[in-house]
Amino acid sequence: MAHIPRDTTEIEDYEHECRKFRICIIGRAGVGKSTLLGKVFGLNDEDAQVKHRGEGSGKHSIWDPIADDNRNSALIIHDSRGFEAGETENLKTVTDFINYRSKQATLSEQLHCIWFGIKYAPICVLVANDALMPLQTAENTFFKFFQDKGIPLVFVLTKFDKLVRDKLDEIAGDEDHPTEWERQRAKQDASSFVEVFRTDLENATGKGVKVQAVSKKDDRLVRKLVIETAAIVKPTLKDVWVRAQGVVATQKRESCVKDLPTSYFKNVLIGCALPFNPFKAVVLDSYFERVFHHCMVIWNLPGQSVLFTKDYITRSFREATQSYTTRASAASIIDLVGPLTAPLYVRLTIKLICDLIIIFQQLFWATPRRQLLTRNDLEDQLVIYRNSSVRQSIHKLVDGSVGITDLVTSFSPTKLKQIVEEVVSAGHVLISEELRSSDTGETGEIPLAELPG
């Protein structure tokens, strides 16, 4: 295949100063730090050193970064050894480490965010204010320390499911089969507890403190934590955060459209507007590669950096998006008046972009973070997309957005982005409708909360 020389500006966009998000998680022993990291970023138990019943405290040292390029190429984790109440040695290790990182000159060496895991302790419920006081003092001290260093911090109240269960025990006592009303009430009480906790922390530390409850059994809460975190990281690191996190598709989809590589799109327009240009298919193919790379960087699927280097994989993607290369070659032969056939190429280009974004989203949903994407799963998903009514509808929407008589000069990169945004959002609504109306009501791995409506 002939290669068009790449203009390097867009590739360099990804190579800016900091390509990996550096997050640190601290908190007492057994609070659920490693479990949370596994859920959000996809490190498995072994990598993340999750402590199992009967084992000692997780052995990971905060000084040893955890990184796995194949599983998550946009992330560096510092997982602290949990510290116990009253213990000073590990606490000192944490403060020394954070001091060291704050003194680093480059953004990539500094810490970008801290999650402070706090375990819900039943004692707090029994003697509310008194029992919360020592906890607050520690959090207060840490909050001020991090604020001085300018590091964004989220207090993560872990094991929310246990809090709900304790509330249920309070309400339903020893009943074996609590009623639905009792269950709902327990959830509300647990949420109120988190609110009280948040207010107390705000009173002690000032406004702006972030508190998020999570549970390993509730993915919605884990996604909320990711959204809260995105809201406080430095603006220059927001894109890196979006790539690193492995649970919120919406952030990735929006980022895919917002940062679409559009400058090369001009080459597509010029190339396609020239009559008798035999390289139209090559121009399109080169654009396919560019958008494919763009999606890979943002969706950051577990396993992709090994799997996607294989030629047959990119071929499968090309086939699933469309056989545009063949169609474009045929079109260029009968292409007597370049500018008049150019809108056809614009349509093909937009279809290609929308297809890729939606396929990557489908793969993201189909591959829970703990797994690596396999060739079989990938091919199954591509077949599903190729035969889906969503794909057909998306292509019709594109045809409707780009009239065949439109002048090629009316297509600017901004307009391209706008059409892609509209079509991808419409496609998203279609996916949602299709799933909700399916006979079984099953959505498989797709979280309903991620769908509109």
Binding site for ligand GTP (CB under 6 A): 29-35, 50-53, 57-58, 82, 158-159, 161-162, 215-216
Which of the stretches 26-34, 161-169, 316-324, 401-409 binds Mg ion when contact is defined by CB under 5 A? 26-34
User: Quick check: 303 and 374 in contact, CB under 8 A?
Assistant: yes
* Sole binder of Mg ion in the list 58, 117, 246, 338 (CB under 5 A): 58
32 lines the binding site for Mg ion (CB under 5 A)? no
338 binds, among Mg ion, ligand GTP, none (CB under 5 to 8 A by kind): none
Residue type, 368: P
Angle, helix 180-205 to helix 160-172, in steps of 10 degrees: 120
Q: Rounded to the nearest 10 degrees, how much is the dihedral formed by the CA atoms of 99, 102, 105, 109?
A: 100
Radius of gyration of the chain from its Cα atoms, rounded to whole angstroms: 25
User: Quick check: 401 and 339 in contact, CB under 8 A?
Assistant: no
32 binds, among Mg ion, ligand GTP, none (CB under 5 to 8 A by kind): ligand GTP
Q: What is the largest CA-CA distance in the chain?
A: 84
80 lines the binding site for Mg ion (CB under 5 A)? no
CA 252 vs CA 10, 288, 358, 372: distances in Å: 18, 19, 11, 19
Which of the stretches 56-64, 108-116, 358-366, 430-438 binds Mg ion when contact is defined by CB under 5 A? 56-64
Question: What is the spatial distance between Cα 22 and Cα 101, in angstroms, rounded to a whole number?
Answer: 10
Count of residues that bind Mg ion according to CB under 5 A = 3
35 binds, among ligand GTP, Mg ion, none (CB under 5 to 8 A by kind): ligand GTP
Nearer to ligand GTP, 66 or 282 (CB): 66
Per-residue contact flags (x/-) with Mg ion for residues 422 to 451, judged by CB under 5 A: ------------------------------
302 binds, among ligand GTP, Mg ion, none (CB under 5 to 8 A by kind): none
Classify residue 154 by its DSSP letter.
E
Nearer to Mg ion, 117 or 246 (CB): 117
267 binds, among ligand GTP, Mg ion, none (CB under 5 to 8 A by kind): none
User: What is the b/e burial string over 39-71, where b = at least 16 CB atoms within 10 angstroms of the residue's CB?
Assistant: bbbbbeeebbbbbeeeeeebebebeeebbbeeb
User: Quick check: 11 and 291 in contact, CB under 8 A?
Assistant: no
Nearer to ligand GTP, 216 or 327 (CB): 216
Nearer to ligand GTP, 163 or 233 (CB): 163
261 binds, among Mg ion, ligand GTP, none (CB under 5 to 8 A by kind): none
34 lines the binding site for Mg ion (CB under 5 A)? yes
Smallest gap, in angstroms, from Cβ of residue 216 to ligand GTP?
Answer: 4
Smallest gap, in angstroms, from Cβ of residue 367 to Mg ion?
Answer: 24
Q: Are strands 21-27 and 113-119 parallel, antiparallel or unpaired?
A: parallel
204 C-beta neighbours (distance < 10 Å), count: 16
DSSP, residue by residue, 107-153:
GGGS--EEEEEEE--HHHHHTHHHHHHHHHHHHHHHHHHHHHHT--E
207 binds, among ligand GTP, Mg ion, none (CB under 5 to 8 A by kind): none
Smallest gap, in angstroms, from Cβ of residue 30 to ligand GTP?
Answer: 4
Question: What is the spatial distance between Cα 401 and Cα 273, in angstroms, rounded to a whole number?
Answer: 19
30 binds, among Mg ion, ligand GTP, none (CB under 5 to 8 A by kind): ligand GTP
For Mg ion, the binding residues (CB under 5 A) are 33-34, 58
